[in-house]
Amino acid sequence: MIRPDLSLPIPEHIEAAHFIGIGGSGMSGLARMFLDRGIRVSGSDRADSAALRDLAARGAIVHVGHDAANLPDDVDTVVHTGAIWPENPEFLLARQRGLHVIHRSQALHWLIGGRRLVSVAGAHGKTTSTGMIVTALRDLDADPTFVNGGVISQLGVSSGTGSDDVFVIEADESDGTFLLYDTSIALITNVDPDHLDHWGSRDAFYDAFARFADGAREAVVISSDDAGARRVSSRLTHANVVTFGEAAEADVRVTEIRTDGAVAFSLTHDGQTVAAQLPVPGAHNAINAAGAVAVLLTLGYGLEEAVRAVEGFAGTVRRFELHGVERGVSVYDDYAHHPTEVAAALSAARTVVGDGRIIAIQQPHTYSRTQEMYREFAQVLEQHADHTVMLDVYGAREDPVPGVTGALVSDAFADPANVHYVADWQAAADYTATVARPGDYVITLGCGNVYLIIPQVLEALGRTSADDTAEPSA
């Protein structure tokens, strides 16, 4: 892993940029916007993907695999993610040539320029909230530029170049880069302590959010309900703080949440109440919508028009996304990789599964998070899923830690019959198929590559008859 060095100078002018890790949702979005600016783009990633093929079709030169030969002679700037290793051959050659080598957050800073920036931060809900704001603005006939952490379903992209002055981004708190931007309106969805391997302590994490919020030039929009957000609010000196949530004192208050199918609720602001309904399930999305509406209010829109615009949001890719139905079993995928997110995703599924059961396939993300939160993962999975199939840890940028595997989580279940740990993916898919019954939901959970098991699960379901199903066994 390479920690971003935000003290490095950002070039004033870029003619040719090379992206190391170009296939990621954030990096591919940045590369697409560089192409929109007329900049020559090249890049590499460790595996082929639809994002690489799309960029190639747009004129980028892309490579599968990392090699020094991938770095073109005419490149003046190299953009990298924090997930690459210092030994990456393209990174080393770029430094040897004396090129501008910048973190992706600095590339985004360069793209933003002096536009009116809406930055969405928080431990959970960032991608959904950013998507809600972007699609609502477009529905209101605005044309914002945006960079999101995931693909917005109805737009089919994670980024877009608009003609208006407003720029909307999902800001990353994991490595402190959200402090880099000149934010006009800061939205904080929640402050559930995470990434403590970077911040060192909860107090430092809260202080970073307070600095981010107080740095906003126009307004801070922050949750009234989340305990961490309330801690941050108590540290703020900003003159314009707008709260949202279910709390009685919230400036944009959510009431009457109903989760039988599509989530319905009411939003109240300044004495006016408007009923709302979303096509995406889950009480947490009513709260996300309240935050998005609060941002639209600070941008000058009225409550009624803001609510109607947010209602059009159709979701983001890898957020409770249906991939297929086989033998009456629906197979979904969700990006949830923190206990709070897992609880929200499974709770949303519970509102629409009816009489069916929920079978979670969990891939823990990073050794440090798993080691710190394995008990919390076990607790929420056992509480919200009917049965869990536990895979091994997706290490991402981290080296393995002895004893930290999927078994660490599964062994923490109170009832061993509620979980089945299996490291082999094909064995996991086959086991899931024997457990699932018509009407059940199977949901893969994690922000690594767990979604790649879905074709195996669907294939296993297809060749397993309903008569072959069995009760779960540990």
Neighbours of 471 (CB within 10 A): 9
Diameter over CA atoms, the chain? 66
Q: Report the interhelical angle of 25-36 vs 104-112 (nearest 10°).
A: 40
Q: Is 127 annotated as a binding residue?
A: yes
**Residue 365 is labelled as binding a ligand:** no
CA 223, distance to chain mean position in Å, is: 18
CB atoms within 10 A of CB 176: 19
User: Minimal CA–CA distance to 385: which of 423, 334, 425?
Assistant: 334
Map residue 150 onto helix, strand or coil. strand
Q: How far apart (Å, rounded) are the C-alpha atoms in residues 436 and 434?
A: 6
- Token pair 């995928």: residue: 333
Answer yes or no: is 366 a known binding residue. Answer: no
Contacts of 452 (CB under 8 A, 6+ apart): none
Q: Residue 179 and residue 453: Cα distance in Å, rounded?
A: 36
Work out the burial of residue 465: count CB atoms within 10 Å of its CB; fewer than 13 is exposed, 13-18 middle, 19 or more buried.
exposed
Q: Can you tell me the distance from the alpha carbon of 293 to that of 150, in angstroms, rounded to the nearest whole number?
A: 20
Cα distances from 216 to residues 123, 239, 301, 360, 426, in angstroms, run 19, 10, 19, 39, 49
Residue with tokens 């639809």: 50
User: Would you say 251 and 295 are in contact if contact means Cβ atoms under 8 Å apart?
Assistant: no
SS3 assignment, position 49: coil
Other beta carbons less than 10 A from residue 383's beta carbon: 13
Determine the Cα–Cα distance for residues 293 and 308; give it in Å rounded to an integer: 10
Round to whole Å and give the CA distance between 14 and 28: 17
Angle at 276 between CA 274 and CA 279, to 5 degrees: 170
Alpha carbon distance 187, 174 (integer Å): 16
Q: Is 124 annotated as a binding residue?
A: yes
Q: Determine whether the annotation assigns residue 128 to a binding site.
A: yes
Tell the burial category of 38 from Cβ atoms under 10 Å away from its Cβ (0-12, 13-18, 19+).
Answer: exposed
What's at 314, amino acid-wise? A
Running DSSP on this structure, what letter comes out for residue 335? -
Residue 81 annotated as binding?
no
The answer to whether the annotation marks 434 as part of a ligand binding site is no
266: nearest Cα among 246, 242, 296, 241: 246
What are the beta bridge partners of residue 40? 16
Binding-site residues, please? 122-128
Indicate the annotated binding residues for ATP. Answer: 122-128
